[in-house]
């Protein structure tokens, strides 16, 4: 199946490079940018106006006011700059929005049945997408300005206060679905987004049209009911937030539902019917590493700090840190029902990190309630951390 777009032309084939002479018109500049984006490996291209989307800004304000951002304090701190592109950079006139397909080559939900293995979100099974995309955005922007003979530009990939998904919809790459993620007609759920803000005046594309219809597959699939309403997310219930964004322990109410998901969650993305048009990633750096498709929990629980950094060098997983990652793996071990993981869990009861010790207590209780209760009195005698002590105390309440 070829990766060119449909009639709206948002998807990218790889057309031959056009030859331009003399001063370039805005249309010619846009055509050059589209062609150059394909050369650089981007799969989708569109142009959004620099004015922004007031509706999206209002939704963000409501999200923050309801406290649904959890511990992501950077969201309210940067909300003013997120309200529009010009709030971030007053000189912006046009925004190139680029998408790079990272579609998996297998069903990402099949790993959930293999409880002795860890489920890692599709986006994190390969190189850090920031590293893959940012340099190419800079090259695209610099070549565009060179052709124009004027102008300025700034590039962004996820880490700046930019509303990437609303911008993607404004640029016609797709639409924000009921799970709040961007859905593409050509690539389904699997697009990394980046943007080039520029002072050039380019003709914007028609915005993407919402094609979710009456479908609620993404909401039904969520293991923790993180969608209070269509198009609304409560991050405090989302396993991607709980396993990546917050350093707090996974709330007890969501631990069983977490299953073996140790970094992120793809359920709402994977069940989207528009994935029937999705294709596997063609960028080599975004093809999943074999060792991250279904890693053994026993091996992950044995990682020390050095081993963690080595295994996840160049991966976005490295950012969560050793303690948070191992604590996620302990929750998965507790959900596995596999007695062979007991030695690895027991070893973590003496871990230097309180977060790890706390989740080791929970995992031990799940795998062997008798062992947990037998160790409880001695553990409480020696344990000083309030979080870990609370996990030991709960055992008596559940007995």
CA atoms 103, 107, 109, 111: torsion sign: negative
* 258 close to 250: Cβ distance less than 8 angstroms: yes
What residues in the chain have per-residue pLDDT under 50?
1-10, 13-22
* pLDDT confidence of residue 55: 78
CA-angle at 206, arms to 202 and 208, nearest 5°: 130
Task: Examine the residue annotation and report whether 158 is marked as an active-site residue of this protein.
Answer: yes
Cα first-last separation, the chain: 56
Phi–psi pair at 255, nearest 5 degrees: -65, -45
| Cα 238–chain centre separation | 12
* pLDDT confidence of residue 83: 81
- In this structure, what token pair is assigned to residue 214? 């009456």
How many whole angstroms separate alpha carbon 397 and alpha carbon 399? 6
* 348 close to 332: Cβ distance less than 8 angstroms: no
296's CB contacts (< 8 A; 6+ apart) are 116, 117, 118
Instruction: Please write down the HEC assignment for all residues of 92-133.
Output: CCEEEEEEEECCCCCCCCHHHHCCCECEECHHHCCCCHHHHH
| Cα 307–chain centre separation | 24
* pLDDT confidence of residue 56: 82
Q: Among residues 226, 124, 241, which one has the least CA distance to residue 179?
A: 226
Q: Among residues 238, 54, 269, which one has the least CA distance to residue 163?
A: 54
- Exposure string over 130-158, b if 16+ CB within 10 A, otherwise e: eebbbebbeebbeebbebbeebebbbbbe
Question: H/E element holding 389?
Answer: helix 386-398
Residue 80 C-beta-side C-alpha neighbours within 13 Å: 2
* 182 close to 174: Cβ distance less than 8 angstroms: yes
Q: Is 158 left (phi over 0), alpha (psi -120 to 50) or beta?
A: left
Q: What percent of the chain has pLDDT over 70?
A: 93
Q: Which of 8, 61, 158, 371 is catalytic?
A: 158
How many whole angstroms separate alpha carbon 295 and alpha carbon 283? 23
Question: pTM score, two decimals?
Answer: 0.90
* pLDDT confidence of residue 12: 58
- In this structure, what token pair is assigned to residue 22? 């003399």
* 290 close to 311: Cβ distance less than 8 angstroms: no
Phi–psi pair at 154, nearest 5 degrees: -135, 145
33's CB contacts (< 8 A; 6+ apart) are 45, 96, 140, 144, 202
* pLDDT confidence of residue 2: 29
158's CB contacts (< 8 A; 6+ apart) are 129, 130, 164, 193, 194
Burial label, 231 (beta-carbon count in 10 A; 0-12, 13-18, 19+)? middle
Strand boundaries in the chain, DSSP class E: 44-49, 94-101, 119-120, 153-156, 175-176, 182-183, 191-198, 261-263
Where in the chain are the domains? 1-106+125-214+277-288, 297-399
**Per residue in 297-350, pLDDT tens?**
999 999 999 999 999 999 999 999 999 999 999 999 999 999 999 999 999 999
How many whole angstroms separate alpha carbon 360 and alpha carbon 368? 12
């Amino acid at each position: 199946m070829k990766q060119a777009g449909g009639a709206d032309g948002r998807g990218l084939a790889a057309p031959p490079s056009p030859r331009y002479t003399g001063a370039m018109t805005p249309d010619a500049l846009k055509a050059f940018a589209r062609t150059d984006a394909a050369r650089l490996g981007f799969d989708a291209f569109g142009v959004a106006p620099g004015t922004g989307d007031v509706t999206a800004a209002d939704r963000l304000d409501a999200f923050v006011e309801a406290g649904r951002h959890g511990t992501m304090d950077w969201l309210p701190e940067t909300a003013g700059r997120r309200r529009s592109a010009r709030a971030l950079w007053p000189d912006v006139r046009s925004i190139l929005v680029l998408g790079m397909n990272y579609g998996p080559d297998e069903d990402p939900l099949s790993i959930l049945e293999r409880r002795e293995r860890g489920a890692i979100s599709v986006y994190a099974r390969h190189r850090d997408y920031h590293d893959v995309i940012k340099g190419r955005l800079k090259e695209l922007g610099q070549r565009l300005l060179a052709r124009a003979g004027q102008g300025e530009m700034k590039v962004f990939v996820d880490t700046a206060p930019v509303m990437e998904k609303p911008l993607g919809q404004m640029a016609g790459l797709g639409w924000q679905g009921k799970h709040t993620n961007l859905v593409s007609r050509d690539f389904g759920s699997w697009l990394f987004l980046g943007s080039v803000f520029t002072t050039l005046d380019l003709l914007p594309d028609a915005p993407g049209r919402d094609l979710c219809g009456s479908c609620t597959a993404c909401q039904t699939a969520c293991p923790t009911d993180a969608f209070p309403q269509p198009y609304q997310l409560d991050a405090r219930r989302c396993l991607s937030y709980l396993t990546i964004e917050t350093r707090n322990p996974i709330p007890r109410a969501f631990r069983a539902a977490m299953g073996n998901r140790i970094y992120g969650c793809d359920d709402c993305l994977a069940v989207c019917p528009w994935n029937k048009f999705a294709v596997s990633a063609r960028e080599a750096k975004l093809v999943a590493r074999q060792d991250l498709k279904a890693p053994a929990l026993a091996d992950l629980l044995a990682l020390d700090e050095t081993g963690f950094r080595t295994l996840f060098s160049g991966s976005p997983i490295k950012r969560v840190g050793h303690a948070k990652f191992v604590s996620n793996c302990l929750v998965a071990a507790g959900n596995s029902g596999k007695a062979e993981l007991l030695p690895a869990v027991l070893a973590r009861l003496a871990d230097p990190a309180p977060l790890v010790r706390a989740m080791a207590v929970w995992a031990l209780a799940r795998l062997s309630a008798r062992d947990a209760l037998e160790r409880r009195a001695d553990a409480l005698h020696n344990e000083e951390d309030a979080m870990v002590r609370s996990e030991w105390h709960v055992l008596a309440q559940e007995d």
